[in-house]
């Protein structure tokens, strides 16, 4: 058998396994989120990682914004799972600044995730819930073509 064919088959199988594990991880996220959502509001902090470890933290909040439960998923592979973190229970999410003693003890990527959740929570509380959407490469190209077309028509 050709070595390139074997390499292609192994790569396709690895890609398929990654898709299956990714789907399982998304299912796990949805289950944890739904369970926490039944108890009230949930603040989500995320710090995506391409090469480094990515982190997602879910904070279950009461009506005053005090944390009732924290779940954290951190890792570089699709095998990462949610773990319960009791460190932040009974603390207001607004109070978790980078200078908070409990936050400053965490890893840098966890601190960034907590800050992301805090900032998103504060934005929602202030009524600023408009999300920024990034354009895909195709949408950028389409936009540039439309702008060039308008410039040609106006000349």
57-115, pLDDT tens digit by residue?
999 999 899 999 999 998 877 778 899 999 999 999 999 999 999 998 998 999 999 99
How far apart are the C-alpha atoms of 2 and 9, rounded to whole Å? 11
Burial of 88 (0-12, 13-18, 19+ CB in 10 A): buried
Q: How many CB atoms lie within 10 A of CB 72?
A: 22
Instruction: Find out whether 59 and 117 touch, Cβ atoms under 8 Å.
Output: yes
> 85 lies in which domain range?
3-154
Q: What is the mean pLDDT of the chain?
A: 87
- State the total domains in the chain: 1
Q: Using pLDDT thresholds of 50, 70 and 90, give the confidence band for residue 151.
A: confident
Q: Per the structure block, which two tokens stand in for 64?
A: 């005053």
Instruction: Find out whether 111 and 88 touch, Cβ atoms under 8 Å.
Output: no
What is the helix, strand, coil percentage profile of the chain, to 5?
50, 20, 30
Q: What is the pTM of this model?
A: 0.74
């Amino acid at each position: 058998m050709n070595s390139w064919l074997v390499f292609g088959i192994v790569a396709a199988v690895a890609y398929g396994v990654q898709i299956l594990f990714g789907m399982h991880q998304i299912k796990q996220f949805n289950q944890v989120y739904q369970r926490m959502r039944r108890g009230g509001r949930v603040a989500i902090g995320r710090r995506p990682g391409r090469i480094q470890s990515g982190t997602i933290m879910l904070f279950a909040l009461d009506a005053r914004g005090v944390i009732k439960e924290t779940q954290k998923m951190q890792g570089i592979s699709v095998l990462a799972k949610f773990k319960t973190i009791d460190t932040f229970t009974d603390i207001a999410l607004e109070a978790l600044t980078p200078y908070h003693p409990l936050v400053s003890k965490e890893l840098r990527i966890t601190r960034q995730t907590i800050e992301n959740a805090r900032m998103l929570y504060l934005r929602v509380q202030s009524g600023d819930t408009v999300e920024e959407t990034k354009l895909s490469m195709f949408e950028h190209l389409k936009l540039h073509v439309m702008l060039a077309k308008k410039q040609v028509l106006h000349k």
